[in-house]
Amino acid sequence: MQYTPNTESQAAEMLAELGLSSLGDLFTDIPESIRRKCVLDETPGETEPSVRARLEQLAQDNWSAGDAPVFLGAGCYDHYIPAAADYLLQRSEFATSYTPYQPEISQGILQGIFEYQTLICRLTGMAVANASLYCGGSALSSACRIAAETVKKRKILLPASLHPEYAEIVKSAGIAGFYETVEVPVAESASAGSPSGVIDLAAFESLLDSDVAAALIPYPNFYGALEPVGELVRLVRAKTNALVVMSVDPFSLAMLKSPGEWGADIAVGDAQSLGNRMSFGGPHLGFMAVTEKLLRKIPGRLVGQSVDDRGNRCFVLTLQAREQHIRREKANSNICSNQALCALATAMYLTFIGPAGLKQAAAISHKLTCYAQEKFRRAGFKIRYTAPVFQEFAVCVDNPAEANEFLLENGIIGGYELPGALLFAFTEKRTAEEVDELVEAMSKYAFPAEKESAEGEEQE
């Protein structure tokens, strides 16, 4: 006998069981103003070829990083990724974020995570790294909580030069009551030999007191500038027992002094720049590395190296009390699924490109940035801040949005729009010729009369 369900009667029975009178009662939590009132389009479906043709037509309205030179950075960068890494990452056994609780059948992914942790430690100069957090901002907010719990204080010094999205995440997480943030201003103009675009040292020092749990130091900061880390760390150590938390771009550490060398307690950041594509802004990969004394406070996964009962090298999750499935009420992390695939992409990238390759790529980015700064200055533009930079800097322009539109019309994806400036990034994928085209287009936009005059004189 074939069973044919009576949809209406079954719905009525389920609603009665739930104590509801209509299907609409299931959606009372959704405001009326955003509920869809019209009937859904029931047009017959299209064939696969017609759908593909339509999608390709729509895709032509978008510009990707492969269609034009990209000078947009601000925390998400167009770096080169070796083809081998892209290929291997597509293997089906990697396409899961499920935690490898059973080491006897998970040695491959456990070793991948262990190698990732090791590489992050080598980059940051720290003792221990986790695997992993969701993005640079969530990693930073976790670091703030660790600092507050460790130092038994509540105040977090939050510099205005920090990535604004990171700052919002840190502030939002602080609402839970574990800590409170105090903003440290940026020096907007150079004074007494100190550059602009970095933390105001006088203001920073005045805010250091016995209530501070951590001082956050972006490196490089959101404007691409290099903070005076040595002086900032010296002030923290001299005046407080607070932790130093550095938010870093790991790509820059191929050239710059590591957080460990600076004496930081915690290093966090976003590893998108190491083997993960921009992909419309995600997913990203947050990392955290700490000193040995903070080993038991670090959130997320930790994979340790051991030997099995036959004496063979093996890998296993260790110190799992940090997770919610053990000692749930005392756990310092609720990370159920880590960013295993993104972490694996970073491990593959660093393995394929190697230490020498990473240094070379970072050096190209920095050299190109210095070249671009000089080109803009010679063209008559003012560089927004005077602090030294790594691969990003801001150029003053009256109408950033309009300037970006002009750049798009000239086949260039421009920079991040700041008040009265454009923030341009220069990765190793850019060329000197592309920089020349950028400066030329910006000159046409900013100084049209001068450009037309110069072109007229050339023709004469």
The DSSP string of 137-152 is HHHHHHHHHHHHHHHT
SS3 46: coil
Tell which wins on pLDDT, 145 or 321: 145
Q: Provide the domain limits for residue 438.
A: 354-459
169-197 pLDDT, tens digit each: 999 999 989 999 999 999 988 876 679 99
In which band, very low, low, confident or very high, does the pLDDT at 330 lie, cut at 50, 70 and 90?
Answer: low
Per the domain annotation, does 38 fall within a domain? Answer: no
Decide which of 350, 384, 413 is a domain's last residue: 350
The CATH number linked to 126 is 3.40.640.10
Q: Which of 304, 327, 350 is the last residue of a domain?
A: 350
Instruction: Report how far apart, in Å, the C-alpha atoms of 460 and of each of 323, 397, 447 are.
Output: 75, 31, 20
Percent of the chain with pLDDT over 90: 69
Tell me: do 340 and 361 sit in the same domain: no
Q: What is the distance between the alpha carbons of residues 393 and 376, in angstroms, rounded to a whole number? A: 11
Considering the domain architecture, whether residues 408 and 332 belong to the same structural domain is answered as no
The mean pLDDT value of the chain amounts to 90
Average of per-residue pLDDT across 86-92: 87
Out of 6-10, 129-133, 158-162, pick the least confident.
6-10
Asked whether the predicted pLDDT for residue 280 surpasses 60, the reply is yes
| pLDDT at site 37 | 77
Instruction: Give this prediction's pTM.
Output: 0.87
* Residues 182 and 156: beta-carbon distance below 8 Å: yes
Instruction: Please report, for residues 72, 187, 425, 441, the alpha-carbon distance to residue 385 in angstroms, rounded to integers and kept in the order given.
Output: 18, 9, 15, 22
Question: Are residues 263 and 389 part of one domain?
Answer: no
In a domain, 27, yes or no: no
pLDDT category at 1 given cuts 50, 70, 90 is very low
Task: Verify that 405 and 322 share a domain, yes or no.
Answer: no
Per residue in 224-275, pLDDT tens?
A: 999 999 999 999 999 999 999 999 999 999 999 999 999 999 999 999 999 9
Instruction: Kindly state the average pLDDT of the residues 218-226.
Output: 98
pLDDT for the residue numbered 217: 98
Other Cβ atoms less than 10 A from the Cβ of 452: the count is 11
Q: Contact 233/265 with Cβ under 8 angstroms?
A: no
The reported pLDDT for the residue numbered 393 is 98
Q: What's at 28, amino acid-wise?
A: T
**Confidence category of residue 2, pLDDT binned at 50, 70, 90:** very low
25 belongs to a structural domain:
no
Q: Residue 455: pLDDT above 50?
A: yes
- Chosen domain end from 302, 332, 350: 350
Two structure tokens written together for 23: 């299907």
Nearest Cα neighbor of 243 from 315, 310, 327, 147 is: 147
Q: How many domains does the chain have?
A: 2
Please tell me which of 4-13, 42-51, 263-272 the model is most confident about, judged by mean pLDDT. 263-272
Query: What CATH number corresponds to the domain at position 387?
Result: 3.90.1150.10
In a domain, 1, yes or no: no
pLDDT band at 323 (very low <50, low <70, confident <90, very high): low
Structure tokens at 211: 């209530």
Per-residue pLDDT averaged across 301-324, rounded? 84
Both 199 and 270 in one domain: the answer is yes
The pLDDT confidence band at residue 432, using thresholds 50, 70 and 90, is very high
Residue 183 lies inside a defined structural domain of this protein: yes
pLDDT band at 41 (very low <50, low <70, confident <90, very high): confident
Same domain flag for 425 and 371: yes
DSSP 3-state assignment of 161? coil
**Domain identity same for 271 and 298:** yes
Q: What phi and psi, each to the nearest 5 degrees, are found at residue 213? A: -90, -35
> Both 247 and 265 in a single domain?
yes
> What is the pLDDT averaged over residues 104-127?
94
Same domain, 290 and 381: no
* Together in a domain, 396 and 301: no
User: Quick one: what percent of the chain has pLDDT higher than 70?
Assistant: 91
Tell whether 112 is covered by a domain: yes
Q: What is the pLDDT of residues 153-168, one digit of tens each?
A: 999 999 999 999 999 9
Q: In this model, does residue 4 exceed pLDDT 80?
A: no
Two structure tokens written together for 264 = 């930081």
DSSP secondary structure letter of residue 179: -
- Could you tell me if residue 382 is inside a domain? yes
Tell me: do 210 and 358 sit in the same domain: no
On whether residue 90 sits in a domain, the answer given is yes
Residue 3 pLDDT: 44
Q: Are residues 316 and 434 in the same domain?
A: no
What mean pLDDT is predicted for residues 331-354?
Answer: 83
Give yes or no for residue 411 having a pLDDT over 70: yes
At residue 322 the predicted structure's pLDDT band, cuts being 50, 70 and 90, is: low
Please give the residue that has the higher pLDDT: either 97 or 283: 283
